[in-house]
A and B are shown apart, each in its own frame.
Chain A
Amino acid sequence: MSLLRLESLSRSFGGVKAVNGVSFEVEPGQLYGVIGPNGAGKTTLFNLITGLIRPDSGSVVLEGVETTRKSPEQIARLGIARTYQTIRLFDTMTVRENVMVGGHIGLSYNLLDVFTARSRYRQAERALFKRVDGLLQTVGLEHRAEDEAGALSYGEQRRLELARALAAQPSLLMLDEPAAGMNTREAIDLSNLLRQLVAAGGLTVLIIEHNVKLMMGLCDRIAVMNFGEKLAEGLPSEVRRNASVVEAYLGKSE
C-alpha cells in the first residue's frame, strides 16, 4: 500500500486553476520530489495535503485513510509534519521549546497531572526533553538550545523548523523549499541529513524545491508540475530526458 495517494486533486482560486487534476503516489521510505517553475502550484498542493485549504475535487489518502476533509490538526495527528517556505517558528520561545511544541501530539498527560506534578507528567516531559536534545544534535543546533528562536540566523531557522517537524515523529515529512537561501555547502549537508533520516527507517519525505540539481541527486522519484498540472513523473533520469519538462523550464525551441 502506498503511504500517500493523491487522486485528481484540484483547487482553483477565482478562475485560476492552481492545482488541476494532480494524481500521484508516494511509497513508504521514498524521497519524493515535486519540482516546477514559480507559480506551478507546488505550495498549494502542500496546503491541500496538510488541510490548510480544501480541494474543490479529488482526494488525499494517507496510509489508507482518507484525509481530504480533515482539519490540519487531525491530519498532523495522522502522521504528517511539515515545514513552510516562509519560515514559521514560534519566535519568542526558545529553540528547545519550539522543538518541544513539535512533540505535542506525542504527549498525553492532562492538566491535573501537571498541577500535582505527578510522575506521569514528569516522566513524559523528561523523555521529550531528552529526545529534543537528540534532534537538536541531529540538525546541529544543540549549542543554541536556550536561545530565542527569533535570534537565529536564516539557515539555523530552517534547520530548527526541520527539527520541530521531526519531533512529531511523522510517517510523512513534507518540506517546502528546505534549501531556499542556503549555500551549496548547507544544501549538501541538508540532503545528506535527509538521506540518513530516511535510511534510519520509518520516514518518508515529500519535498518541493527550486534547486533542480539538488533534487535530481537526492530524490528517488520526481513529479514535475507546471500551471497546476502534473507534466511528468518518474525516476530523476527519466524526468531529465522528458521533452515537456525541458520545455517548461527552458521554453520551446522554434
Chain B
Amino acid sequence: MQIVLDFFGSYGYLIYLLAQNSVLALSVYITLMAGQLSLASIGFMAIGAYSSALLSMNAGLPYPFSLVFAALIAGSVALLIGGPILRLKGVYLAITTVGFGELMRFIALNWDYTGGAMGLSGIPAATETWHVFAFLLLLIFGFHQLRRSRHGRALVAIGRDEMAARSMGIPTTRYKVSAFVAGAMMASVTGSFAAHHTNYLSPSEFSFSTAVLVLMYAVFGGLGSHWGPVLGAIVLTLLPEMFRFLQDWRMIIYGMSVLIVVIFLPDGLLEIRKLFRRKKDRVAHAASIMESPKA
C-alpha cells in the first residue's frame, strides 16, 4: 500500500497529465476527423480555465457548475466564430486558429480581471485525478459510438471529400461547426480541470508551442481511430520522463525517437498493427505461391 502511495506521490502529476493530454488530443482529433486542421484547442482550454476559475472565485459557483458553465461559454464562442472560420481551408484555417489561440493568451495577459502576467492564484482545489480519467473514458466511449453512427461516418466522409459528401445529402457546414464546438467544449473542460487542480493559472500555460504539441499527440498517434490520439498523448507525455536519465541529451533523443516513428510509421503509431498484419499477409501470400505448381 505504501508503495502505491509513494508511486502516486512522485508520479501523481504525470498520471494526471496522461489523462489531460489525451483529452486535449481528442479535442483536436474530432475536428481532424472532419478534415479541418484547427489549432484552437489551447485557446478554448484557456477560455475554460479562466472562466471556471473566475466563476469559482468571484461568483462562488460550486466546482461542477463552474466547469459546465465554462464549457458552455467555450462552446458558444466556438459556435460564433466557427461559421466564418471554417470557410477557410488547410493552412489558412490553421493560421487563423493559431491567431485565435494567441488572441486568447494576449487577453489573459493584458486584462486586470484575469490577473495579467501574474495569473490567477487561490483557485479552490477541487479536481481529483480520477475526474479527468472518468471524463476521458466517457469521451472514448463517445467516440466509439460516434464512429458507428451516421454522424461519425458523415464527419469522416467530409474529411475525405467534402464535395462528394455534399452530394450524399450531408450538410457539411453544420457538421464541421458541430465538430469544432465539441472540440472546444472538450478543451474547455480540461482547462477547468487544470485550473482547479494546480490552484494557479498563468497565460504562459496556453502558448503556441503547447497548441502544436497537442496536434502532434494526435498525428503521432495516428488518425485512423480515436485510439491513435490517446496513444500518441500517452507516449509523448511519458517519453520525456523516461529519458530523464539522459540529462542534457534528453530532448535530442526525444526528438529523434519522434522522427524515427514518423519516418517508419507515417500514418501514426497506431498503424504498427498494420505493419504486423501486412507481414503476415505477405507470408501467407508467399506460401500460397509456393504451394501452387507453376502452370
Where the two chains meet, the residues of A that have a C-beta atom closer than 8 Å to any C-beta of B are 50, 52, 71-73, 76-77, 81-82, 84, 88-93, 97, 100-102, 104-105, 107, 109, 111, 114-115, 117, 121, 125, 164, 168
Judging by beta carbons under 8 Å apart, are B150 and A109 in contact? yes
Q: Count of chain B residues with Cβ under 8 Å from any Cβ of A?
A: 25
Name the residue among A89, A93, A100, A101 with the largest chain B CB count within 10 angstroms.
A101
Partner of B149, one of A71, A73, A93, A121: A121
Q: CA of A81 to CA of B166 in the docked complex: distance in angstroms?
A: 11
For the complex, is B142 an interface residue (Cβ under 8 Å from A)? Answer: yes
Judging by beta carbons under 8 Å apart, are B167 and A90 in contact? no
B12-51 interface bits toward A, Cβ cutoff 8 Å, 1 = contact, 0 = none: 0000000000000000000000000000000000000000
Partner of A76, one of B153, B156, B169: B169
Q: Which residue of B lies closest to A107 (CB)?
A: B150
Judging by beta carbons under 8 Å apart, are A164 and B160 in contact? no
For the complex, is B163 an interface residue (Cβ under 8 Å from A)? Answer: yes
Inter-chain contacts of B149 with A (CB < 8 A): 109, 111, 114, 121, 125
Inter-chain contacts of B141 with A (CB < 8 A): 115
Q: CA of A67 to CA of B118 in the docked complex: distance in angstroms?
A: 59
A–B Cβ pairs within 8 angstroms, 28 of them: A52-B163, A52-B166, A72-B166, A72-B167, A73-B167, A73-B171, A73-B172, A84-B164, A88-B163, A88-B164, A90-B160, A91-B160, A92-B160, A97-B153, A100-B150, A101-B154, A101-B165, A102-B168, A104-B150, A104-B153, A104-B170, A107-B150, A111-B151, A114-B151, A115-B142, A125-B148, A125-B149, A168-B169
Inter-chain contacts of A115 with B (CB < 8 A): 141-142, 145
Judging by beta carbons under 8 Å apart, are B169 and A93 in contact? no
Q: A111-B149, A114-B146 are in contact. Are A101 and B167 (CB under 8 A)?
A: no
Q: A111-B149, A115-B142, A125-B148 are in contact. Are A92 and B169 (CB under 8 A)?
A: no
Partner of A93, one of B146, B148, B153: B153
For the complex, is B205 an interface residue (Cβ under 8 Å from A)? Answer: no
Judging by beta carbons under 8 Å apart, are B166 and A90 in contact? no
| Secondary structure dominating the interface of B | helix
Shortest beta-carbon distance from B167 to chain A in Å? 5
Judging by beta carbons under 8 Å apart, are A93 and B157 in contact? yes
Q: Which residue of A lies closest to B138 (CB)?
A: A115
Judging by beta carbons under 8 Å apart, are B153 and A101 in contact? yes
Shortest beta-carbon distance from A147 to chain B in Å? 12
9 more contacts with CB within 8 A, not counting A73-B166, A88-B164, are A73-B167, A73-B172, A77-B169, A90-B160, A90-B161, A100-B153, A104-B154, A115-B141, A115-B145
Judging by beta carbons under 8 Å apart, are B153 and A81 in contact? no
Partner of B145, one of A52, A76, A84, A114: A114
Inter-chain contacts of A82 with B (CB < 8 A): 167
Inter-chain contacts of B151 with A (CB < 8 A): 111, 114
Inter-chain contacts of B161 with A (CB < 8 A): 88-90
Inter-chain contacts of B156 with A (CB < 8 A): 90, 92-93, 97
Inter-chain contacts of A102 with B (CB < 8 A): 168
Judging by beta carbons under 8 Å apart, are B164 and A105 in contact? no
Shortest beta-carbon distance from B95 to chain A in Å? 26
Inter-chain contacts of A76 with B (CB < 8 A): 166-169
Q: A104-B150, A104-B153, A125-B148 are in contact. Are A71 and B160 (CB under 8 A)?
A: no
Q: Which residue of A lies closest to B151 (CB)?
A: A111
Shortest beta-carbon distance from A79 to chain B in Å? 10
Name the residue among B146, B166, B224 with the largest chain A CB count within 10 angstroms.
B166
Q: CA of A93 to CA of B155 in the docked complex: distance in angstroms?
A: 11
Shortest beta-carbon distance from A76 to chain B in Å? 3
Q: CA of A105 to CA of B157 in the docked complex: distance in angstroms?
A: 14
Inter-chain contacts of B153 with A (CB < 8 A): 93, 97, 100-101, 104
